[in-house]
Amino acid sequence: EIHEPEEVSVWFREGSSCCQETLARNQRFTETPVNMPGADKETDLSERIESFLSELKRCGSGAGSLRGSAETARETTALLRRITAQARWGNAGELMEIIRKEGRRMTAAQPSETTVGNMIRRVLKIIREEYARSRGSSEETDQQESLHKLLTSGGSSEDNFRQHFTHLKANVIEAINELLTELEGTTDNISMQALEHIHSNEVIMTIGRSRTVEAFLKDAARKRKFHVIVAECAPFCQGHEMATSLCKEDIETTVIPDAAIFAVMSRVNKVIIGTQTVLANGGLRAVNGTHTLALAAKHHSTPLIVCAPMFKLSPQFPNEEDTFHKFVSPHEVLPFTEGEILSKVNAHCPVFDYVPPELITLFISNIGGNAPSYIYRLMSELYHPEDHEL
Amino acid sequence: MMLISAAMTLVVGHELQSAEPKEEKQRLRKEKKQHKKNKKDDRGPPEKEKEKEKASVPAPSKPATQSPAHKAAPVPVNASASESPVAAEKPAKSKAELRAERRARQDSERASKQGKKEGGQQSTSSKPKATPNELQPVVKRLPDHVQVDDPVALKKLAKKLERQQKSGQGCSLNITGVKVPLRSDYGYKVSLFSHLHQYSRKNPPTQQISIPVTVIHPSIVRLGLQYSQGIIAGSNARSVALLHAFKQVIQDYSTPPNEELSRDLVNKLSPYISFLSQCRPLSASMGNAIKYIKKEISNIPSQCKEEEAKRILQECIDSYINEKIILASEAISKYAIEKISDGDVILVYGCSSLVNHILCEAFEKQRKFRVIVVDSRPRLEGREALRRLVKKGIRCTYVLISALSYILPEVSKVFLGAHALLANGYVMSRVGTSQIALVAKAYNVPVLVCCETYKFCERVQTDSFVSNELDDPDDLIVTRNGKTHLENWQTVKSLGLLNLVYDVTPPDFVDLVITDLGMIPCTSVPVVLRVKNVDQ
């Protein structure tokens, strides 16, 4: 009953909790009846989805090794491709339903990891496009819900997705492959623009650790000499890793504590940061301390450049309610060794900060540079408005 | 002294005496240049003492309470360690020539200088005839601790420290080889700060002193060690500890024969002050306290017996501490409590003794408020403040400074302490204060700075680079789960760690300064300084 050896290794490598493992193993052994290929594929698929969900739940705690968003995006897209290939669906509408259902589960597993939701919306948009293309109607203007269309179209386009096309599956999978290729090339695309933005003998400031910014700076360092100041970003101090990594490429780096951000800002020429999410209004949800950095840059009229690939763009708006902030254990802030006062004190350790779009000068993404006021337009090209709520 | 001041002003060239014959000045200047090269090793206390004696003879009309010879240079407010090298650098001439010159010059100058201001002498001697609106020379001498990148200045400092060993030879024992140690810098310094010292806490300056110590009083050695290891930290604490150590020094002091207490004691204090500034650069409050002590010592009348003089000095020091620190904090609390209303959420940063005192007093007066303590790496002083407030029973929240934007919407007021208030209205305080003020301004939260008037200083500064303190860079290395990334930062060629201690906050971020004189805006600091100068 053992299908592919990699499956078993998947379980052991991820080290999921005992019960889940035994449950899944039992499921595997008991649920597979007499060699039905479709049933095999289904269980295989649900296993993969379960493993992905558990990994999402675990990695978001902040204490383990933080996965890069690029990896998450890639894995989500690969999983969606697998769902398209292996799940049972008859027409586009059913496929979209399946994907939406799985998508809701995935975003519920780790709400702060927005790339998962973004990829799902991209795939849904791909499906819509492929469907429209198969139908033969050249409706590129379908996305723009103009008033005219609303008046003249009459019914909603929901029931339009019931038609069955034989080549739809192949087309969708091909389009998803294109999306994967695009994802793989994002960091390189962004780094290629580095020389247009960094001149020699500059002092650049950054905060925390962003793989995109790291690649960006390393690419520029091949041709230009400049100085980088890294704010260490307590309490996880990821700035230290960033600094050591930059030093390997012989970039002059200085590590400063968060408290010194405003003090040294007057000598900084540019601030280049990465972000966790780009919100629909052009604002950012970035690592904590970024808002202070942005305000200091604004005070000194220093340009603030955000390097963010397109898969981080999310159609959410910032709402300062419970859903925006994520907290991790306050043990990082006030350790248990401070025992006596610990019980009488509230300690907070938020992970993210909101940065309003007025403080940002430029977004650099894999499709080029944009102002924050243009973000809404890019979003409408990537996602269909009906998919904003999964 | 008139004599030395004239010589100095000739060298420095700031004196405004238009009636002075210019030819005489130039002749003297040429002579000085001639003698400068020959006389390097003759410089020292014997020469100085002789100069003093000579100078005291032809100046009977001068008030006896002039400052000693080697303080003729205009004294910058914050670094008393810079005083002696200036006069010592003056080239010595042969004694007879000097005497004759001085006599001649003094006669002519006395005539022309009647009723003219002395001008330019910012020394700690009392000047009852100095009017408050006299013109000060604009360029004060740059303190040593911001000239680390200048090799000439470093050499001068080393020579001065060596010399101060000899100047302590008023007593019987002469142990050579004991000197005020020159501390060496540690680690790679960020290029923007190469003009500042950067010491390591693992190499305290006391390692280079042999025991028994004859030059430096043991309580000063202990104090210096406590400063350099960070055991005593905080502006008020450092000043109070300094004054207590000086009380001990004065207690143990005995006037050597043929010396006047008022002059010799000040000479004795100079190597101590150099030593302390090697351990840790002096703070503005310490600088003001030292100025006060030196002034008080010089004001001791020469007829006074030693025991009487010591008693007077001890009382002066006690009253200074009482007035400027303890009573001042009571006054500030009184004003500040008016600003705290029920239901307030107050944000404080780090550990300021004054702000903690205010909050404890307000809590005792039954105000209902809660406190948010913001802290920052690597010093983590906020935990100390947290302990004190929690012990009192105040409800507290604790965050790191990177979470400031998250917590600030809840805050109604921000109370900050200060290390010094500069004459252009900037607030010099622990690094991170300016950031708090910036973000509070963005959220429209009022920022109140609490500062005693003895911390006001006449320096001006616009950024945090030119005059700052660099702390041990190894403090930034942090271990989480037993591993660090920066362990071998010294071996990595292009990596630097920067651990600043102070920063300056522009006055537009500060809404109110609460001092013992009342509640003033940030820009009124020079007015207060002027009022203080008039009083003195």
Whole-number pLDDT of residue B160: 78
Lowest mean pLDDT among A210-224, A370-384, B15-29, B73-87: B73-87
* Residue B438 contacts A where some CB pair is shorter than 8 Å: yes
Which residues, listed in sequence order, are joined to residue B449 by a DSSP beta bridge? B416, B513
Tell me the mean pLDDT in the region A294-315.
95
Contact at CB, B387 and A341, closer than 8 angstroms: yes
Interface of A with B in 297-336 (CB under 8 A): 299, 320, 325, 333-334
Tell me the mean pLDDT in the region A260-271.
95
Q: Where are the alpha helices (DSSP H) in B90-234?
A: 95-112, 151-167, 218-228
Tokens 């300084």 map to which residue?
A: B529
Longest dimension (CA), chain A: 72
Whole-number pLDDT of residue B138: 62
Contact at CB, A247 and B492, closer than 8 angstroms: yes
Q: Where are the alpha helices (DSSP H) in B120-260?
A: 151-167, 218-228, 235-252
B438 contacts in A (CB within 8 Å)? Answer: 262, 292, 295-296, 299
Nearest to B498 among A247, A254, A346 (CB): A254
Q: How large a percentage of chain A has pLDDT more than 70?
A: 81
Nearest to B402 among A254, A288, A341 (CB): A288
Count Cβ–Cβ pairs < 8 Å, chain A vs chain B: 158
B491 contacts in A (CB within 8 Å)? Answer: none
* Residue B493 contacts A where some CB pair is shorter than 8 Å: yes
Contact at CB, B500 and A260, closer than 8 angstroms: yes
Contact at CB, A348 and B486, closer than 8 angstroms: no
* Residue A174 contacts B where some CB pair is shorter than 8 Å: no
Per-residue pLDDT band at A303 (split at 50, 70, 90):
very high
| Cis amide bond preceding B74, omega within 30 | no
A349: amino acid identity, one letter: C
Is the Cβ–Cβ distance between B73 and B120 less than 8 Å?
A: no
pLDDT tens, A117-166? 999 999 999 998 888 888 876 555 555 556 666 666 654 555 567 778 88
Distance from CA of B447 to the nearest CA of A (A): 16
Residues in chain A: 390
Each residue of A89-112: b (16+ CB within 10 Å) or e? beebbebbebbbebbeebbebbeb
Tokens coding A270: 């540019």
Whole-number pLDDT of residue A340: 79
CA proximity to B56, closest of B66, B47, B46: B66
Contact at CB, A292 and B190, closer than 8 angstroms: no
B390 contacts in A (CB within 8 Å)? Answer: 341, 344-345
What would the DSSP string read from start to end of A103-144? Answer: HHHHHHH-TT-HHHHHHHHHHHHHHHHHHHHHTT---GGGSS
Q: Which residue has the higher pLDDT, B107 or A320?
A: B107
* Residue B443 contacts A where some CB pair is shorter than 8 Å: no
Neighbours of A215 (CB within 10 A): 18
pLDDT in tens, chain B (536 residues): 555 544 444 444 444 444 455 677 777 777 777 777 666 555 544 444 444 444 444 444 443 343 333 333 333 333 333 333 333 344 445 677 777 777 777 777 776 665 454 443 333 333 444 444 445 556 566 776 777 777 888 788 778 777 765 544 433 333 343 456 677 788 788 888 888 888 888 877 777 666 556 678 889 989 988 998 889 988 999 999 999 999 999 999 888 888 888 888 888 888 889 889 888 888 889 999 999 999 999 888 888 888 998 999 999 999 999 999 999 999 999 999 999 999 999 999 999 999 999 999 999 999 999 999 999 988 889 999 999 999 999 999 999 999 999 999 999 999 999 999 999 999 999 999 999 999 999 999 999 999 999 999 888 999 999 889 898 888 888 777 667 888 888 888 889 999 999 999 999 999 999 999 999 998 888 888 888 877 76
Q: Which residue has the higher pLDDT, B21 or A318?
A: A318
Spatial separation of the C-alpha atoms in residues B78 and B153, rounded to whole Å: 17
Nearest to A289 among B192, B402, B430 (CB): B402
Whole-number pLDDT of residue B76: 37
Contact at CB, B492 and A244, closer than 8 angstroms: yes
A263 contacts in B (CB within 8 Å)? Answer: 431, 434-435, 464, 500, 503-504
* Residue B59 contacts A where some CB pair is shorter than 8 Å: no
What would the DSSP string read from start to end of B82-128? Answer: GHHHHHHHSPP--HHHHHHHHHHHHHHHHHHTTTS---S---SS--T
Whole-number pLDDT of residue B50: 47
Contact at CB, B503 and A243, closer than 8 angstroms: no
